[in-house]
Structure 1
């Protein structure tokens, strides 16, 4: 008589994890002990492509196995690697957003105009602040010298050029292309 096997499965997912020979029953010659927890005497079926064999409700079933698949959270478009058995949950989609400013509309990704405007405004304001800071560093200490008439002609020209540049930067939000396509002023030499 062949020794039967225990067929072990994961205690959470029920996924088949392997087999081992059944333990002989010392009280019953020729008999075997009942399977340990999370095991059965019932052999799993042959694996189907793209499926995992799982013990559910006292029988083996083939469950979709797309673990390792890249999916995107519908709430924020962030990518995640799906790591469970079965279908993707409703909070995930296999569709990748193609733009930073997209939101899930229930069936697909769609550009969110308010989100796009907010991002463009944040990006443009950050660039404007950086350029203003760099210009202020370049002309640091020149304001008092200019007012006191202490600058050389070359220094005064530089100061005036940067003053006009900074003013143009300050006025950028008044442009018709702001914030999507601002016409950045040229930085003086």
Structure 2
């Protein structure tokens, strides 16, 4: 049924008709609905007699334009995950529109990738990867050295004082040897990517 409206936008008759709606905030087209229109009433806010023409296409949505005069295609990446070009941090896209220039939909392959803006791709950053491995190896070495120092600090006074258990004399020597070998680990060919740590002796505590 076709219902005509006067120049002020009020229905000249009553009946059901197809009305297109848009989201009040995003202006996204919500579809067409059959609504009952009473004579002398007008369309509800964000309701229109005309609808979008055709399919919006992939990654696009129909929205009402800024003048509220027609429908236009707007980029729609809502629900997708974008990645910061500088930080590689994830961000879920929740708003209509183009992807921010600071982000990309391409996921980095590793935590050490850097973004090539000209080529529009992620590239491996071997320097950053090497620095991360070196930092991790040094942290592990410091932890192991601190543990060795703790065991030696417990055993040495007893051995020097002559009141240590017989087996603790050898244990002190084992820990001192372990501590020395820990200082040599950076000289290995596999440092810092694949360090081979010396076996730790039995702990006193």
TM-score under structure 2 length normalisation: 0.72
Pairwise CA distance, 1:175: 4.3
Alignment: residue pair count: 183
1: CA distance between counterparts of 2:80 and 2:36?
A: 36
Residue 79 of structure 2: aligned partner:
68
The residue correspondences of 1:1-189 to structure 2 (distance < 5 A) are: 1=3, 2-4=15-17, 6-17=19-30, 19=33, 21=35, 24=38, 30-33=39-42, 35-36=44-45, 38-45=46-53, 47-48=55-56, 50=58, 51-56=60-65, 57=67, 58-106=69-117, 107-189=120-202
Structure 2 unmatched ranges of 5 or more: 4-14
Tell me, yes or no, if the aligned pair for 1:7 and 1:43 is still in contact at 8 Å.
yes
2: CA distance between counterparts of 1:105 and 1:182?
A: 32
2: CA distance between counterparts of 1:159 and 1:78?
A: 48
Structure 1 unmatched ranges of 5 or more: 25-29
TM-score under structure 1 length normalisation: 0.77
Structure 1 residue runs of 4 or more that deviate by more than 6 Å after TM superposition: none
1: CA distance between counterparts of 2:133 and 2:73?
A: 48
2: CA distance between counterparts of 1:79 and 1:170?
A: 39
Pairwise CA distance, 1:66: 3.0
Pairwise CA distance, 1:14: 1.7
Pairwise CA distance, 1:116: 1.6
